[in-house]
Amino acid sequence: MKIKRLAHIGVAVKDIDEVAKVYTEFLPLKLDSVDAVGELRTGFLPVGETSIELVMSTTAEGVMAKHVEKRGEGIHHLAFEVDDVEAACAELKAKGVPLTSDAPRPGAHGSKVLFLHPKATRGVLIELVEMPKGH
């Protein structure tokens, strides 16, 4: 597995529109895209070769809503871009690395994502992301 770059830093939020104001009014950043991914709503603020991803639940019972309720808003995960998330998944499984799912799943912008379990990574949720070709 080769890590291409730090794709984004995920930030758990209650309301993307309200939190985006911090980045767009205090800093010279722009909310570039907002996307729906299952029960999540994501918003990306590009910063050079990486982005800040604001992530919120669209339901009160959603996984991100529960996370924010328990831990508060703040940094949620680090996402690293890889060429082939399926191959990375197989490699990690062969090493016995605990994952949050058995296989990659759809992510924002047509990507495929896989999460390493935070118990295996000393408390930091790590996402591997494969972007669609041409993105």
pLDDT in tens, 35-65: 999 999 999 999 999 999 999 999 999 999 9
Query: Sign of the CA dihedral 5, 10, 129, 98?
Result: positive
Q: What is the pLDDT of residue 124?
A: 93
Q: pTM of whole model > 0.85?
A: yes
For the chain, domains (ranges, CATH) are 3-130 (3.10.180.10)
Maximal C-alpha separation, the chain: 46
3-32: string of b/e by CB count within 10 Å (b at 16+)? eeeebbbbbbbeebeebbeebeeeeebebe
pLDDT in tens, 66-115: 999 999 999 999 999 999 999 999 999 999 999 999 999 999 999 999 99
